[in-house]
Structure 1
Amino acid sequence: MIDVNVVRRMLAECVIEHEYPFEWVEHRKVRELCCYLNKDFKPISRNTCKGDCLKIHLEMKEELKSILGKVSSKISLTCDMWSSCTSDGYLCLTAHYVNDDWKLCFKILNFFNVPPPHSATYLYNTIYGLLREWGIEKKICSITLDNASNMNNMQELLRFQLDQNDALVAHGKYFHVRCCAHILNLIVQSGLEVIKVGLLKIRECVKYVEGSEGRKIKFRECVAQAGFEYSKGLWLDVPTRWNSTYLMIERFLYYRSAFEVLSRTYEVFALEYLADYEFPWIEHIFQFLKPFYDITLLFSGSDYPTANLYFENVFIIQKNIEKELLSTYVIFREMALNMKNKFSKYWEEHTMVLSFACILDPRFKLQLLQYLFPQLGSQYEDSSQLILEQMKKLFEEYKLQRGNMSFRNFGGQFNSNKSELESYLEENREDYELQLDVLDFLKKNEFRYPTLSRMARDILSIPITIVALESAFSIGGRVITKWRSSLTTTNAEVLITTRNWLYGYEEEVKIKDNWGRKIKRIKS
């Protein structure tokens, strides 16, 4: 006999996982299937399904609340605002932490409707209230935000309140983290301003071809005349997303000869085409931006790696900018100067956290910083030592917070006058090319380095981007559509958060970093 209650729960989970409307359970064929499986099954209404989804939501929420209350590491947050197609404003809050099995976890806590005005004080009261509701207001490590002024002011209020509760390490010195993907976008956009005339010409050429089916057919003919196949489509960029501009340039350069055929053959193609002297500029900038694009893929994936992998990639950004400042071309030096100013404005405040995470990678330790910083100039020669001093201060704070830990957790501290951090740094590094799960390494060495491991769990779980929120907004865009405009904001939150708690984020992606190592994408 098929259990009716199990069927109802499975129907509700179908609605949650596949973003079906509640009325899906009222569809004739769905009801016929249920009755075929169990003739005693009584068809349910959309309201009953709604109630079943809410029941699952409340069960999962209590379960997650219990998990967050018991986890021994601190919890880092990401937060951002999103507007639905119905113009309702939502605040998405996510939690990131390393659980007691040393697995990196991230969960959507709330997808909360917040009506305007979205002032800093209102957002602070909302977020702090949500943290208290979850019972984690004394377990917060950091919060990652975009560059919006109201969010920046909000975090100041939140940091003050949490520090008053003695919830933050180093009095919140490392509490606020700006989204690296947003910063990278600002840096590159400032550089692209220098060649905006050339980019406009490329954009107009692509828009012309994509403007009608007839033009597309003519362009394919030009591709054939140029002697190659139309294997890739053209790409029209979104000007506010520089990585899409990079792809537009890539496709334009790939089809350069076809565009030249088009400009010679069809008089109607009367757009201002790039001058011969502009092509070397575009090609040079395309090559210059390639590492930036690769790093953007790393920063903007549906998931993210632990924070130890960011420092060396940020170094690539800075080194490329410094190199371009020495270019013989004025236009490239101007571009690099614009980018350097943006870089200095945003990145230097993150150097400390990024460096701590780098040192905690047994393949890198302090030696990678000592190797990389001098390459940026004499002004950076002492940077690694200054970072080490700050890390020692943070370590001592964690050491004082150990409290009533068991005798077992003191490890080998009585066998040496050296601290755990000093012992760790003096040991030989792991092979740089090793495909290493840093969290797994620290888990295996937790007995030897109890305090250092505890600090590492907090630092490595700090999200350097808010890409997890982008995934949540993608789900929100599929749940809240113009065909479901009557969906209440409460039911929207139920569907979006419960889907995340049950099934995690998007599919796992495996890519390589700029040093050729494979990055393990972690699916929550």
Structure 2
Amino acid sequence: MDSSSSPIDLDSNEQIINLEEIQTPRPPSTPNSSSCPLPKKRKENDPSIVWNHFTKVEDSPVDDAKAKCNYCGKMYACHSKRNETSTMQNHLPLCPKNPHKRESSDKYQKTLASEATPEEEVGESDSSMVRNLVTHKYSEEAVRSAIVEMVIIDELPFRIVEGQGFKKMVRLLEPQFKVPCRVTVVRDCMKLFASEKTKLKKLLKNEGIRISLTIDSWTSIQNLNYMCLTTHFLDSDWKLQKKIINFCLIPNHRGDTIGRYVESCLRDWDINKIFTVTVDNANSNDTAILYLRHFLTGNVLGGKYMHIRCCAHILNLVVNESLKECNDAITMVRNAVRYVRSSPAILDKFKECAKKEKIDCEQRFFLDVQT
């Protein structure tokens, strides 16, 4: 071989190799491809659950495919390659006309929350106590029920739900919740009352339960006559229960009037087994008990010992009669208290005198305590 031809051959071979490398590029290297498998694609015969609530629009173009909500008619892009179904999934729990809204929210809107113990619910929490994490889901019905219980338990006015501060607090806690008006809260309270009344009726119809009634009537400062009817009974677990079954206005405090209103209430609750009736030591209540004995049947010994007089009321009458014997001394003390309470300056001067005499007392002054 000639020495002059060898370099030409090498150069030509190198040029051929370089051209082949340019014309046929190598695939990019994927290091550790065996340890990082590609995600599995969903099978074509396994469609998303979203399509149970959405329908593809047939008239839409292929490049701009649309899907329509079966409930509210809202349109979403649903191109098979460019769009995903997550936007439609997020729409289902918020759709106002979705009848399966609760199921959708159960699937997509669960969060973690700490479970409060009964002690913490009443404000007696312990910082060292371990609290459990539970799944929490938003429910509009549960929030409305909690508002009704708050109004009833805390004896709040219905207009509290229309206050700006309450609405702001609810908006920060749960933006999805729409605060109801006070008319809706009243309606929810009546629904809760009807539900609890039905449960209590079933409980009182149990065989073997005898009820003791307490009747209390009084006149308010607006000169309105009220009557409260309370039941006391032992449940199946031998626990004493106390339930108010009636709180109403009455025209007067006559015995037959009280008897008729009590009879109407007992008929409404379907109660006919009465053990005792506790009332104040007033003459009108004697007439009311005589009226109820003719109405009630199945009483113990024919209702002979049904009438129970309130011992606290009797004691109060005794004390008031005895106080009349020292009326002059009580009048002097009452006048002194009235003078001290007449102005803030006199009250401050009285407290200074008490400090000089080293009398340590933080109690306030009251003119009369009837009970």
TM class, shorter-chain normalised? 0.5 to 0.7
Task: Give matches, 1:27-426, under 5 Å.
Answer: 27-70=163-206, 72-84=208-220, 86-114=222-250, 116-137=251-272, 139-162=273-296, 165=297, 167-226=298-357, 228-233=358-363, 235-238=365-368, 240-241=370-371
What amino acid does structure 1 have at the position aligned with 2:329? G
8 Å CA contact retained: 1:72, 1:99: no
Query: How big is the alpha-carbon RMSD for the aligned residues of Structure 1 and Structure 2?
Result: 2.2
Q: Which has the higher contact order (CA 8 A, sep 6+)?
A: 1
Structure whose residues are more often strand by fraction: 2
Shift of 1:85: 5.4
How many residue pairs are counted as aligned between the two chains? Answer: 235
Q: Identity of counterpart residues, as a percentage?
A: 35
What amino acid does structure 2 have at the position aligned with 1:140? I
SS in 2 for 1:171: helix
What amino acid does structure 1 have at the position aligned with 2:278? T
Shift of 1:54: 0.8
SS in 2 for 1:197: helix
Counterpart-to-counterpart distance in 1, 2:312 and 2:293:
23
Counterpart-to-counterpart distance in 1, 2:244 and 2:213:
10
Shift of 1:175: 0.8
Provide Cα deviations, 1:215-262, integer angstroms capped at 9, x if missing partner: 223323332343x23324364342644xxxxxxxxxxxxxxxxxxxxx
8 Å CA contact retained: 1:120, 1:151: yes
Shift of 1:65: 1.0
Counterpart-to-counterpart distance in 1, 2:286 and 2:337:
38
Structure whose residues are more often helix by fraction: 1
Shift of 1:86: 5.0
Q: In the alignment, what sits opposite 1:251?
A: none
Q: Return closer, same or farther for 1:27/1:210 CA change in 2, 3 Å cut-off.
A: closer
8 Å CA contact retained: 1:79, 1:91: yes
TM-score of the two chains, using structure 1 as the length reference? 0.42
TM-score of the two chains, using structure 2 as the length reference? 0.58
Q: Return closer, same or farther for 1:29/1:224 CA change in 2, 3 Å cut-off.
A: closer
Counterpart-to-counterpart distance in 1, 2:178 and 2:259:
47
What amino acid does structure 2 have at the position aligned with 1:124? G
What amino acid does structure 2 have at the position aligned with 1:143? V
Counterpart-to-counterpart distance in 1, 2:178 and 2:340:
57
Q: Return closer, same or farther for 1:28/1:217 CA change in 2, 3 Å cut-off.
A: closer
Q: Say which one has the larger Rg.
A: 2
Gaps (5+ residues) in structure 1?
242-524
8 Å CA contact retained: 1:94, 1:108: yes
Q: In the alignment, what sits opposite 1:320?
A: none
Counterpart-to-counterpart distance in 2, 1:61 and 1:143:
21
Q: Return closer, same or farther for 1:200/1:72 CA change in 2, 3 Å cut-off.
A: same
What amino acid does structure 2 have at the position aligned with 1:125? R
Q: Return closer, same or farther for 1:197/1:231 CA change in 2, 3 Å cut-off.
A: same
8 Å CA contact retained: 1:71, 1:99: no
SS in 1 for 2:205: helix
Shift of 1:207: 2.2
Counterpart-to-counterpart distance in 2, 1:80 and 1:208:
35
Q: Return closer, same or farther for 1:84/1:199 CA change in 2, 3 Å cut-off.
A: closer
SS in 1 for 2:232: strand
